[in-house]
Structure 1
Amino acid sequence: MKELVLLVVLLLVSVGTTLEKEFNDRYHEDQQIETEEYDFYNFTLPSDFHLGVSSAAYQYEGAWDEGGKGESIWDRYIHTYPEAIADGTNGDVAADFYHKYKEDIKRVKDLGLDTFRFSIAWPRIMPTGLIDSVNQEGIDFYDDVINEVIKNGISPMVTMYHWDLPQYLQDLGGWTNEIIVDYFEDYADVLYSYYGDRVKLWLTLNEPTKGVDGYGGNVTGLGYAPNVSAAGIGTYLAGHTMLKAHARAYHLYNNKYREFQKGRISLALETFWYEPQDSNSESDHEAALQAIEFNLGWFANPIFSKEGDYPTVMKKRIAENSYQEGYLKSRLPQFSTEEVKYIRGTADFFGLNQYTTNRATFGENGPSPSYTRDTGVTLVAPSDWPASETSEWEKIVPKGLRKVLNYIKDRYGKKWEIVITENGFIDDGEIMDSQRIVYIATYMIEMWKAMYIDGVRVVGYMIWSLLDNMEWTSGYRSRSGLFHVDFYHPDKIRTPKKSTELVKTIAKTRRIPEKYVDHVKELDQLEFHNYS
């Protein structure tokens, strides 16, 4: 049996090398990023461009045990391990959006934005996650939210799953159990049937690469819910199930709802951009590409590529590592030919969450087995790149967004429209949030360049986030909102930050104020490879 696995690995190496050379040649040729002066005032955002803000149920709503809601994996996890959260807090109340949604939706309107992205909590709709537990109070709550959004002249963009799996389903194995595909289809069916007449933009999953972290990404202790210690195994099993669940929800919509609801469906995929550690090293160039294939490509390739299935480099490396570790087959599950076809093309646009950039070089990290070790890449965030004072991982590298957008166009084809479903900045919550202002303006300018110079079909941009919120394991120490929230006041008082003025200006004029172009020029002085 091991001989058979070795043969498969050798075949993948051969195919992978050929494809990698062809891809590198094409990518290097296509990635001509122009740097000439550009008059941004020649263009404004199109009238049908989606400009808005994003949010998520667990991070915003609170009311964790109100209105018939069931327990989620994050409820169970934080109540069991409060020490997992940096400041010892939880999302039991969070920003109290559950009771304040009307005033918060009004804030979106007052900013002049046209789209509000929010997620629906699966356990609020189905406390156990099963079709026989539909909760009418939960149905009514989101019905009211959607109606309020539309009443304010805003388009709802709804995420079905933003990591808050019903605990009952986790007791069955969670995303590592493929029975969840059936249950997710039932859940999607309920959402389409109740809300599809008004919701025209759906995201099935948010950041599945992070959503699987709780099934094996926590290699050093407490991390993300549900905190299952199955590094290098649970991560891939959960991801495999998520891809099947996404495809099932997409086909359900196609077969049952699309003809008369006429909505659009995708999922929100997150990625850093990766630069070579040494811009003169061909090896580091390959490491940077390998990093993005393991991150973005893990879930994008099966859906958006012409060939479908996982990236070749993932299949090759994980099979090779699995064999060396004594496994009889790859830890990365395989799709059948029929499954590859079923999953491929199951999106109407490309949803992208993008925040920052890292440098990459080849190197072995993490325990064996683990996803980190399988990537075969060491990531380094240069200390001289500007960064958030609160979150060192978030370097302010706006050109990275342009690079990712071009990568998607070149790797997956020009036909895909892209909605930037999250882009935002973390700080400590100051009202005069000057770093956030520069961040939003400069990243939007790079988006502009991708649209008007490079021909990338970007059709939407969502700022993370409207409000300060429960930032998962960081608790309330990390703040990402356009509005400050006083989490220690019983009324969770909201105060607009300085960045709201910038957002209002952009929303009104559909342009970036010219003064921020100089900030882009300054940030462009960072050593940065153009793949030219």
Structure 2
Amino acid sequence: MNKDSYFGENFLFGSAAAAYHFEGAYDQDGKGLAISDVVPASPAEGRTDEPTADNLKLKSIDFYNRYKEDIALFGEIGFKVFRTSIAWSRIFPKGDETEPNEEGLQFYDNLFDELEKYNIVPLITLTHTSEMPLHLAEKYNGFANRKVIDFYLRYVKTVVERYSDKVKYWLTFNEINAVLAMPFYQAGISEVNEVTVQEKYQAAHHMFVASAKAIECIKKINPTAKISCTFVSTFRYPLTPKPEDVWEAVKQNRYQDFFTDIQVNGEYPWYMDRYFKEKNITLTITEEDKKIMKENKVDFLAFSYYNTGVASAEKKGMEDIFSKLKNPYLPQNDWGWQIDAVGLRTVLNYLWDRYKLPMFITENGSSAIEELIEAKDGNMTVNDDYRIDLVSDHLKQINEAIKDGINVFGYTTWSAIDFVSGTTGTMLKRWGFIYVDYQQDGSGSLKRYKKRSFDWYKKVIETNGEYLFEK
């Protein structure tokens, strides 16, 4: 094998999805309502009182009833790992019950067994963004209420005891830093009144404690399990070499570092003291909280990477997850997301310098409006060369980071298959290697079609990355 394409013998190439994006079957087999079931469009546009017909996630691509067909395709493409989530409200429909829903548990038994048939390793998010049972948001105000930690832990204990012999890799939360930008969607906090910065950080603290307690719980059940909690990478460059811009970039990067520092080091970083003081934030943190966080840290870093941002002293934005400023040196996709493959190598080096922990990129990809066409062989497909180029460019930068000496052990694209976009509620944004005939108006046969990128990624995986470097 070409030494320049070496990813390591056990590198986990794969792809990802999440329950609320693709399972559908929102009211089947005892499932309760989740936050996503009352957010039909963008979280910024707010919720509805009840599930509504325009919420495409309710049906989505019906993975719940078609998982065998889809996993067979995942096996054909050759995924070594598949990341998905367990729908919390399938297991505890309201979230505060004492006994779980057996039909929900059985579905994931079947799912993991099916993955094992194709030698696909599951990487499981215990609860993805917007998958909290709606009842916990409406009755308890989500993670703004410390009581919800106990309900979360009951759920964690239930599923980990059930699947400990089938799942080695666990993620406690998805993109935990999104709580500051989307408090209801991420943490179930009511937005009837404006959510204060104090409330957001207190909820984040409760999630830190919940994550640490989940790690403790999982390790007691299976000491060999590997556990993390994902964050969305928001690394910022200074817009110019002006010292004020450089300092602003340092401050904005600490917005991201804060979430990882706590989970790697087990304590709040010193640099947040001034920020909390200036914002009049006083968190309720018990001695037990400090102890549980210190004693239960993540085993590896897991993060989503889509782009980088830029920081300017003239436009501050510590609370913004995604930079509102454009980097003049980067292209962008149809949705205005700038593309920076080299930035992934930069981020990996930055995180390795800071933490020296193994790393897994849990989301990376791009979407576009796509259409089926007839290929030369008569089959219907999608010419998604832009996806091939983007994934290729990012994988090559991961390869460079590995050659830099960094321990990167896995990569899952977003996403394996087309589904409903979470932050827009639309089917217009197509993310997967597999096209699904499910349209914006809710119509469609749900038939699956392989895109051009399907066979390309299959070759990448079966050559352990060497195909990336072929002329």
Q: For residues 120-135 of structure 1, what are the structure 2 equivalents within 5 Å?
A: 120-135=86-101
Q: Deviations over 1:91-143 (max 9, x none)?
A: 11111100111111111111111111110000000001124241111011111
Partner of residue 506, structure 1: 460
Q: Distance between the aligned counterparts of 2:185 and 2:88, measured in 1?
A: 23
Query: What is the Cα deviation at residue 365 of structure 1?
Result: 5.4
3-state SS of 1:381 partner: coil
Is the aligned partner of 1:46 residue 2:8?
yes
> Which residue type is aligned with residue 151 of structure 2?
Y
Residue from 208, 211, 216 that aligns with 1:251? 216
Question: Conserved in 2, the CA contact under 8 Å of 1:270 and 1:353?
Answer: yes
3-state SS of 2:173 partner: strand
Partner of residue 265, structure 1: 227
Q: Deviations over 1:54-94 (max 9, x none)?
A: 11000010001111000111213439999659x95431111
Residue from 368, 372, 382 that aligns with 1:427? 368
Partner of residue 195, structure 1: 163
Q: Distance between the aligned counterparts of 1:314 and 1:379, measured in 2?
A: 23
Q: Distance between the aligned counterparts of 1:446 and 1:496, measured in 2?
A: 26
Work out which of the two has the higher radius of gyration on C-alpha atoms and give 1 or 2: 1
Q: Distance between the aligned counterparts of 1:74 and 1:192, measured in 2?
A: 24
Partner of residue 360, structure 1: 311
Query: What is the Cα deviation at residue 315 of structure 1?
Result: 3.0
Question: Conserved in 2, the CA contact under 8 Å of 1:442 and 1:516?
Answer: no
Question: Conserved in 1, the CA contact under 8 Å of 2:233 and 2:304?
Answer: yes
> Which residue type is aligned with residue 317 of structure 1?
Y
Question: Conserved in 1, the CA contact under 8 Å of 2:143 and 2:203?
Answer: yes
Q: For residues 296-335 of structure 1, what are the structure 2 equivalents within 5 Å?
A: 297-305=257-265, 308-322=266-280, 330-331=281-282, 333=283, 335=285
Cα root mean square deviation, aligned: 2.8
Which deviates the most, 196-205 or 311-320?
311-320
Query: What is the Cα deviation at residue 398 of structure 1?
Result: 0.4
With normalisation by structure 1, the TM-score equals 0.78
Q: Distance between the aligned counterparts of 1:209 and 1:40, measured in 2?
A: 39
Structure 1 residues 446 and 246, CA gap change in structure 2 (3 angstroms): same
Partner of residue 396, structure 2: 445
Q: Deviations over 1:212-256 (max 9, x none)?
A: 5332799xxxx998645304233212211111110011011223x
Q: For residues 77-476 of structure 1, what are the structure 2 equivalents within 5 Å?
A: 77-78=39-40, 88-163=54-129, 164-171=131-138, 172-215=140-183, 227=191, 229-255=194-220, 257-259=221-223, 262-278=224-240, 280-295=241-256, 297-305=257-265, 308-322=266-280, 330-331=281-282, 333=283, 335-336=285-286, 339-344=289-294, 345-363=296-314, 371-372=319-320, 379-382=324-327, 385-389=330-334, 391-392=335-336, 394-412=337-355, 414=356, 416-430=357-371, 431-452=382-403, 454-474=404-424, 475-476=426-427
Question: Conserved in 1, the CA contact under 8 Å of 2:202 and 2:284?
Answer: no
Question: Conserved in 1, the CA contact under 8 Å of 2:41 and 2:55?
Answer: no
Q: For residues 465-504 of structure 1, what are the structure 2 equivalents within 5 Å?
A: 465-474=415-424, 475-488=426-439, 489-504=443-458
Equivalenced residue count is: 448
Q: Distance between the aligned counterparts of 1:290 and 1:140, measured in 2?
A: 46
Question: Conserved in 2, the CA contact under 8 Å of 1:424 and 1:480?
Answer: yes
Residue from 28, 38, 56 that aligns with 1:76? 38
Q: Deviations over 1:308-332 (max 9, x none)?
A: 433433331232132xxxxxxx25x
> Which residue type is aligned with residue 157 of structure 2?
D
Q: Distance between the aligned counterparts of 1:476 and 1:133, measured in 2?
A: 35
Q: Distance between the aligned counterparts of 1:248 and 1:309, measured in 2?
A: 14
> Which residue type is aligned with residue 120 of structure 1?
I
Question: Conserved in 1, the CA contact under 8 Å of 2:418 and 2:433?
Answer: yes
Q: Distance between the aligned counterparts of 1:404 and 1:209, measured in 2?
A: 16
3-state SS of 1:426 partner: coil
Query: What is the Cα deviation at residue 300 of structure 1?
Result: 0.5
Q: Distance between the aligned counterparts of 1:97 and 1:47, measured in 2?
A: 31
Query: What is the Cα deviation at residue 200 of structure 1?
Result: 0.6
Structure 1 residues 226 and 495, CA gap change in structure 2 (3 angstroms): farther
3-state SS of 1:116 partner: strand
With normalisation by structure 2, the TM-score equals 0.88
Query: What is the Cα deviation at residue 356 of structure 1?
Result: 0.5
Query: What is the Cα deviation at residue 339 of structure 1?
Result: 2.9
Q: Distance between the aligned counterparts of 1:252 and 1:346, measured in 2?
A: 12
